[in-house]
Structure 1
């Protein structure tokens, strides 16, 4: 008779159950299906709250599939325009990894401050609101390993590390199997070199690694996300024409060439199929964007399918996304073309913002310009009179560059359609002596130079209507001899004088107040409130682009006066944007001044533009420019003066005793400007 112990039987069943769980293959990692089951976006996270809908974002399905382990690629790049929901894909990849395939995941932002902000405003709310993840992640530091930049699962099986590309130490702290490189185009080299190379190296040890690179492009050449897209499979979303069925990507040119300025709401894409001639309209979007597995025909098509095994790269821009209308795209283009901006877009940076945020393409940097001789000849042919404010120049700013033995200044006028006019240029040096003044070195610390600058700030220039107008704001370079510059600048209110210093960062704000700086004793320096960082690299690209334009009525045209010496034009276009490669192989782009050339004219132009940005010329609407012109460009009511008397500039110290002399051979730029300024 056999005796069976029921307790042993139960133990045997438990053993087999444990063995089954241990040896069973892991469930399939399917980010798309996981998102449908688990992702519910709140109003705090997105403008379209609610459960994740594949019908809303059908173009993300293939990207999420590429991020899964069944796709052999190790790198997935998404180059996109703004407002297409790109962060949705990154969030699904991040949260889905923690749920289905827990491991160490590194999420890299341009800076540490960006990483902290993302953690507080995006990651924490998502972890709280995702039901399957909320119990796994502690919400306070008392509940396990948790900080602003590190979130670990309670069971220790996976963690999310957030880092800034500007901090090489944070990039070296983990070895992640999964990685997100967000806002990649904004990454700048750090103290250890190329942050992208540093981040990539952290995941190379894993054969099954997945690195998602995602960003809106910025400036090309040198744009990181563009370079990655071009290195991959270069996939575009093809949709069928609702009239003939021909599969095609939605290309900007197919809409741009058919926009009716009077009816932007009718913006549509002309079908590229021969013999069709039908228009793909916005009401067709939901139907044509439906992928094959949802009963449609849309699909991603790779230009280089052989690269898909290692690196899949996708391009996605505004027309595919339900988050923005085609009418808004057409209006944005018309605003840029007209040089104006509507109420919603008035704070946007015109051409580059449109190129980046709407088209999803890198803005072509202009590192070369017209030969200086062409600019000189054009000025002599169609230029305005030097020293006289021309029609259209409604706001006046001065840029001052400080050198060891002189200061140089440029008066620039600003008007509608982002146009500018160089009105006057001058140099204060050792020969600039006010009545009763003493010999001096020409340095900013000399009382004579400061007096000359005081007079410049009070000086008035005639306009073509017979008025005399003073400068609206003066900006002076404070990067060198900062204390001496401050000693002069502090004598004038912030509404009249600001200090600037150039920063080469191409992702920086055009003008940003310097953060509180401290001296050697740790005290906050007094000039912080008056000191601004100026993104000179971006300004140079915009200037060079404007100088290339030939039509004086074109948006962004740069008007140059007659009578300036050749060296003015040489200096205006003296620098070039060139690629540099360090000994360690780090590639960067910077503006280079060739040996033997000077760049004070270029610098004063940029500094003057900094003052214009401070005043707010970039935010003015067409209506505001028109109102300003109605107030300024009117003839004075007093008795009319003789034409020559009316146009004669007010003296700096006293009425000039000598006429302007012709250009002598071998005369320096400072001497030329000094004589021209008399």
Structure 2
């Protein structure tokens, strides 16, 4: 006879178990301990593979403590350099929360495309490779509970929702105890208003919510992460001097003041107390005693904000910081990238150009004539802007160290679709302009505005080689790349792929305007980024070049945006064509040309051709220049003639480079 054993549940015991589970205090939420136990970097992810090492990321210890429920603050802000481990902190906060204290978690990126990319490339590997999370997220399609933008725990006790700030729908009708607002500086207003306000409101129902705001700064005024940092406790990382033990912040201006241009490998700081040199090999011992000190301590209970930059990170050497600056200085667009990504501070914009009269007077004093390429102008680019009844153009010469000179500009009557207008444009692209050496040079690259009349512009542009003629359009989004090929676009009516996509580029018009307005203020021709003007330009040219300014605009929802605004009574085609000419130069490669290429261009274009027959004006200029140089050599105390002054300027320029 076979006996059957049947297990029966003891209802009283089950009740006790449930009550014990409810009454037992939750375990301590220790993000730092969780990271050391769970985060393991692969060789692909980090130059320091292996378990999370707090000695390498000492500046994140206090940030992770602030994110813990033990700290009463509600908001934690990190204003930082790029590539110092910020994503690691966000991942620890996300994974640790969903593991140690389950609940719904919101992770917001600037756009849904960014959100999907992060989910696939960062979140999915973390959920798959972290032991404590792998069992909670089997990564299988469970009736919509595991998708790219939504990950729910297998026991239903919490989920991660990934959203884009550009989608108001994804930021509504959800309540989240914790959230990350990533790349906050790149968030732009959506159709529902301010996405930051929308995201913040998702945690309003939770008294003890935690919101992590993290980003590299961009442009001030208007930078979201900078504004949040200033609203918070403003905690800076202090480290002790290895010589006198005085605690101080390692500031970029301190390194810059001690920078030897000829020896960037010796980049260092100087102690503000004892004056001794702080060298890179001192960094590890200083980092072990790092502490954050609040400059606005009254905000600490509600909002803790931290600043961290590359000088504290083992992921970047001080020599590399110095070399990045030496490469970027003098070019506002490159300087902005350096200050944002390396120093972790916002770039303060030039909101408007100098008065146009100042630039006009400088042009009137110029020794360069309109229509002639100045010495040092080795690459020619042409910017073209299409209007309803005309096409306007500007020719700009670019040289070493981001210098540029306006050579010529003009107007072609008619619409871009008119045959006569197209023929004159064809001729313009192959027209030559003389330089001081008798060489006649045609534009190396042409950029034509393709934002308006796109199909008509394409009909003209496609007749020319893609290596010489490109279509461009400006984007006033300050977080956009300087230049980027447009994504494949389709005809709205037919759905067919538009062929011009392969030679159509977007460019960051806002950043180029800021950079230009900083550079036109430089008066020394030897300054990096100097913009030169010839004689013969009309007042209207300067009015158009300076026609815009960056102004705050208050929306109905109360949020302030900063936009470039044009005087309604003033045209701005010369500003537009200047930007287009600069984009053509960037696409030509002017920003990254090695000295060897500049040397070759100089040899080819700034020497007299051996058998060339110069015209009367060129020949006369050569004679005057020769006589002036000879006079300068033989009579040091004699008054210097104008041509010799120009030669002296050229020699100073060559010596400086």
TM-score relative to the length of structure 2: 0.90
Match of 2:324 in 1: 332
**Residues 1:496 and 2:488 aligned together:** no
**Residues 1:366 and 2:350 aligned together:** yes
The answer as to whether partners of 2:360 and 2:542 remain within 8 angstroms in 1 is: yes
1:195-243 C-alpha deviation (Å, 9 max, x unpaired):
1111111111111111101011111111111111111111001111111
The answer as to whether partners of 2:330 and 2:529 remain within 8 angstroms in 1 is: no
Structure 1 CA distance, aligned partners of 2:21 and 2:456? 75
**Residues 1:421 and 2:405 aligned together:** yes
Structure 2 CA distance, aligned partners of 1:22 and 1:585? 44
Q: Structure 1 residues 14, 265: closer, same or farther in 2, change over 3 A?
A: same
Match of 1:620 in 2: 593
Match of 2:497 in 1: 524
1:351 is aligned, of 335, 356, 359, to 335
Match of 1:59 in 2: 59
The runs of 5 or more residues in structure 2 that have no matched partner are 1-6, 622-657
The aligned runs of 1:593-612 (5 Å cut-off) are: 593-612=566-585
> What SS is found at the alignment partner of 1:548?
coil
Structure 1 CA distance, aligned partners of 2:557 and 2:495? 36
1:280 is aligned, of 270, 278, 281, to 278
Structure 2 CA distance, aligned partners of 1:549 and 1:306? 42
The answer as to whether partners of 2:436 and 2:618 remain within 8 angstroms in 1 is: no
Structure 2 CA distance, aligned partners of 1:642 and 1:479? 41
**Residues 1:505 and 2:477 aligned together:** yes
1:578 is aligned, of 536, 551, 554, to 551
> What SS is found at the alignment partner of 1:601?
helix
Match of 2:294 in 1: 302
Residue 444 of structure 1 and its aligned partner are, at CA, apart by: 1.9
Match of 1:192 in 2: 192
Structure 2 CA distance, aligned partners of 1:262 and 1:376? 37
Match of 2:652 in 1: none
Match of 1:536 in 2: 509
Q: Structure 1 residues 201, 609: closer, same or farther in 2, change over 3 A?
A: same
Residue 383 of structure 1 and its aligned partner are, at CA, apart by: 4.7
Residue 9 of structure 1 and its aligned partner are, at CA, apart by: 13
Q: Structure 1 residues 484, 639: closer, same or farther in 2, change over 3 A?
A: closer
Structure 1 CA distance, aligned partners of 2:9 and 2:363? 100
The aligned runs of 1:247-258 (5 Å cut-off) are: 247-258=247-258
Residue 13 of structure 1 and its aligned partner are, at CA, apart by: 6.4
Structure 2 CA distance, aligned partners of 1:147 and 1:506? 32
- Which deviates more from structure 2 when the two are superposed, residues 443-452 or residues 569-578? 443-452
The answer as to whether partners of 2:412 and 2:424 remain within 8 angstroms in 1 is: yes
The answer as to whether partners of 2:194 and 2:557 remain within 8 angstroms in 1 is: no
1:467 is aligned, of 439, 462, 466, to 439
The runs of 5 or more residues in structure 1 that have no matched partner are 1-6, 291-295, 340-347, 430-441, 649-678
The answer as to whether partners of 2:402 and 2:591 remain within 8 angstroms in 1 is: yes
> What SS is found at the alignment partner of 2:135?
helix
Structure 2 CA distance, aligned partners of 1:43 and 1:518? 44
Structure 1 CA distance, aligned partners of 2:13 and 2:424? 96
Structure 2 CA distance, aligned partners of 1:271 and 1:236? 16
The aligned runs of 1:652-671 (5 Å cut-off) are: none
Residue 630 of structure 1 and its aligned partner are, at CA, apart by: 2.3
- Which deviates more from structure 2 when the two are superposed, residues 541-550 or residues 255-264? 255-264
1:416-446 C-alpha deviation (Å, 9 max, x unpaired):
10111110011112xxxxxxxxxxxx22222
The answer as to whether partners of 1:235 and 1:312 remain within 8 angstroms in 2 is: yes
> What SS is found at the alignment partner of 2:206?
coil
Match of 1:312 in 2: 304
1:532-559 C-alpha deviation (Å, 9 max, x unpaired):
2222111111111111112211111111
- Which deviates more from structure 2 when the two are superposed, residues 41-50 or residues 185-194? 41-50
**Residues 1:289 and 2:287 aligned together:** yes
Match of 1:394 in 2: 378
Structure 2 CA distance, aligned partners of 1:133 and 1:151? 11
- Which deviates more from structure 2 when the two are superposed, residues 7-16 or residues 461-470? 7-16
Residue 83 of structure 1 and its aligned partner are, at CA, apart by: 2.4
The answer as to whether partners of 2:238 and 2:292 remain within 8 angstroms in 1 is: yes
Residue 615 of structure 1 and its aligned partner are, at CA, apart by: 1.3
The answer as to whether partners of 2:29 and 2:68 remain within 8 angstroms in 1 is: yes
Structure 1 CA distance, aligned partners of 2:404 and 2:446? 16
Structure 2 CA distance, aligned partners of 1:217 and 1:383? 41
Structure 1 CA distance, aligned partners of 2:457 and 2:618? 35
Structure 1 CA distance, aligned partners of 2:197 and 2:18? 43
> What SS is found at the alignment partner of 2:128?
helix
2:359 is aligned, of 375, 391, 403, to 375
The size of the alignment, in residue pairs, is 614
Match of 2:130 in 1: 130
Structure 2 CA distance, aligned partners of 1:108 and 1:621? 41
Match of 1:451 in 2: 423
> What SS is found at the alignment partner of 1:230?
helix
Structure 1 CA distance, aligned partners of 2:503 and 2:352? 33
> What SS is found at the alignment partner of 1:238?
strand
Structure 2 CA distance, aligned partners of 1:8 and 1:414? 87
> What SS is found at the alignment partner of 1:444?
coil
Q: Structure 1 residues 83, 219: closer, same or farther in 2, change over 3 A?
A: same
Structure 2 CA distance, aligned partners of 1:571 and 1:647? 35
1:388-439 C-alpha deviation (Å, 9 max, x unpaired):
111111111111111111111000111110111110011112xxxxxxxxxx
Structure 2 CA distance, aligned partners of 1:378 and 1:86? 47
Match of 1:662 in 2: none
Match of 2:49 in 1: 49
1:281-318 C-alpha deviation (Å, 9 max, x unpaired):
1111111111xxxxx3x311001101011111100001
Match of 1:654 in 2: none
> What SS is found at the alignment partner of 1:136?
coil
> What SS is found at the alignment partner of 2:43?
coil
The answer as to whether partners of 1:383 and 1:560 remain within 8 angstroms in 2 is: no
> What SS is found at the alignment partner of 1:248?
strand
Residue 164 of structure 1 and its aligned partner are, at CA, apart by: 1.2
The answer as to whether partners of 2:109 and 2:181 remain within 8 angstroms in 1 is: yes
Match of 1:214 in 2: 214
Match of 1:23 in 2: 23
> What SS is found at the alignment partner of 1:22?
helix
Match of 2:92 in 1: 92
The answer as to whether partners of 1:45 and 1:122 remain within 8 angstroms in 2 is: no
- Which deviates more from structure 2 when the two are superposed, residues 637-646 or residues 505-514? 637-646
Q: Structure 1 residues 125, 44: closer, same or farther in 2, change over 3 A?
A: farther
Residue 476 of structure 1 and its aligned partner are, at CA, apart by: 1.2
Match of 2:634 in 1: none
Structure 2 CA distance, aligned partners of 1:449 and 1:362? 44
